[in-house]
Amino acid sequence: MLRGISPHSAVEMHAHRQSGHGTQSTSATVNQGRKFGTWTCFFMLLELVESQREGIGQRRSAAFFRAVADGIPMPRVAWQLYFRAARLLRFGTATVSLMFALQRLSRARMSLPTKLDRKAVTVLITGAGGQIGYSLIFAIARGELLGKDQPVNLHLAEVEAAMPKLRAVVMELEDCACPLLHKVVATCDDVDAFAGVDVALLVGARPRTPDMERKDLLAVNARIFERAGALLDSVASKDVKVVVVGNPANTNALIAAEHAPSIPKENFTALTRLDQNRATGAIAKRLGVSPADVKGAIIWGNHSTTQFPDVSSATVDGKPVPEAVGDEGWLRGAFTSLVQNRGKEVIEARGGAGSAASAAHAIIEHTRDWLLGSDGATVSMGVYTSAAVGGSYGIPPGLVFSLPLRTYRGGRYEVVEGLPVSEYARSRLAVTQTELLEERSKALTTTPESGAGGGGAGVEVA
């Protein structure tokens, strides 16, 4: 079903799986891209030869061109026309530029940095009918994720049972008539949901109950993220940027990354911005200042009760936070515990439902800073560790570990190096690292009974 919601936009509701067409069309576009690459190289060579032509002599040059043309599956007459035109117009570097431009235009899988500002970026939200989705979707449609001039397509995924709820969201979305929203696909078919996406916000997963830790969800949620990884690998953009929200977020991100071998590991992140915001908010409240005045709060490690919210390098109005607070005991005790346990506190206060508006807000900030750049600010994200990412702080490779980062437009990030790490901090890092290592070994040995259904879609986390 296709219904227009603005001159540029369309809504599709998919209720049923249609064969795995996504993979086929994807490989076709890649081949097309390769062909253009080959042609461009050939034309460059041709230009080079053409520019040397005066010294070669007309006849030898024509014989060379014919020999080349014989090896290329293109009608002889087309080559002759090209050579004539080349001689007439005496074009040199201009042709090469033109071919490059054509190649770039033809690339169906334009990479994200190129796509920003030019074409609609396709954003997937799993568990889209849930409460986080209800905040997130409208914020994205308003342009809060990628900027007020960046058109977006939304792929909204849900399990079949939640489709009526998602339909209601889509109706409201239509009624907003957001000018930046080009196309909406609402579906419980996970192949359709993941096909061609540039940004994947993986919210859908089984949520915890107040008596659980997030890692208790590993057995039931691992399967959702294995499937999500496989889908990203086969039908998403090869440059897809992934934000994992469903808990346990760090290890779920690791699972997804391991199941998507063709996508760079640095494209997988876990949300710890919610914790960073909680830490910033708690410091601002304690000091009676605006959160905007508090800069540089860091979350290290796991999005769990072992995380280390670190404000030792943070500042408030340019003054070190530890000095402004003047109470080391509070920082190590009540403050740390507040950030570590805030998720559970919210679940209890909301009668069993998890953070929704604050989670959506954090997802927007995480993704926006990652893709558009943090302007020199330090931000925390769970990222895939390696010798270069986290190695200098002694973090072992192959974990998704929250680190202090600086991010740059297009999705590049680097670890903020050289921050002082006290003995106390080192002991906190060791605790959260141990937990992540344990989760990883469980994730790799667990045979989960069942996911929340819908493969990569699943139910909301909150």
Residues near ligand LMR (CB under 6 A) are 208, 214, 247, 274, 343-344, 346, 354-355, 359, 461
Helices 423-445, 249-258: inter-axial angle, 10-degree rounding:
50
* Pick 236 or 452: Cβ nearer ligand LMR: 452
- Rank residues 181 and 347 by Cβ distance to ligand LMR and give the closer one: 347
Phi, psi of 395 (to 5 degrees): -80, 130
Ramachandran quadrant class, 97 (left: phi over 0; alpha: psi -120 to 50; beta: rest): alpha
C-alpha 68, offset from chain centre: 44
Closest approach, Cβ 347 to ligand LMR, in A, equals 6
Tokens (6 digits) for 421 = 């790490």
Run of H or E residues at 47: helix 21-51
- Residue 54, burial from CB neighbour count under 10 angstroms (0-12, 13-18, 19+): exposed
The residue with its CB nearest to ligand LMR is 343
Beta strands in 144-288 (DSSP E): 152-157, 181-187, 199-202, 241-244, 268-270
As a whole number of angstroms, the distance between CA 203 and CA 248 comes to 11
**Residues in contact with 158: Cβ distance below 8 Å, sequence separation at least 6, in sequence order:** 126, 127, 128, 129, 165, 166, 186, 187, 188, 204, 454, 457
Smallest distance from the beta carbon of 44 to ligand LMR, in angstroms? 52
By annotation, the residues acting in catalysis are: 303
Shortest distance, position 72 Cβ to ligand LMR, whole Å: 57
Q: Which is nearer to ligand LMR, 26 or 306 (CB)?
A: 306
Q: Rounded to the nearest whole angstrom, what is the least distance from the CB of residue 209 to ligand LMR in the complex?
A: 9
Nearer to ligand LMR, 124 or 347 (CB): 347
Nearer to ligand LMR, 126 or 355 (CB): 355
Q: Which two tokens stand for residue 392?
A: 């200098």
Query: What is the Cβ-side half-sphere exposure of residue 193, based on CA atoms within 13 angstroms?
Result: 31
**Shortest gap between Cβ of 111 and ligand LMR (angstroms)?**
31
DSSP 379: E
Query: Which CB, 43 or 401, lies closer to ligand LMR?
Result: 401
We find the least distance from the C-beta atom of residue 264 to ligand LMR, in angstroms, to be 26
Give dist(CA 42, CA 95) in Å, integer. Answer: 12
